[in-house]
Amino acid sequence: MDASNLRPARTLDMSGSFCPVPIIETAKAVRALPLGEVLLVIGTDPGIESDMAAWCRATKNDLLGVARDGRVLRAWVRKRGGG
């Protein structure tokens, strides 16, 4: 799946923030979304890629994809679990 074509219900720009802040803010944002909606998280912390995958596994949400463009990472998360 090419996640870059998804239309997120919300975008969370965490550029300049480092672990654990992007995951904490992602959890808050996902909790506020209806089931099935997509959150786009933008960040510059290289740890986001592995942290987001681990968080999605732990919370039963779907990590639809991660794209890197230079220092910027974009992660698409679909709400499935409890957030």
Which sequence positions are flagged as catalytic? 19
Residues contacting 81, CB < 8 A, separation 6+: 59, 60, 61
Residue whose pair of structure tokens reads 């957030």 in the numeric block: 83
Query: CA 5 to CA 9: how far, in whole Å?
Result: 13
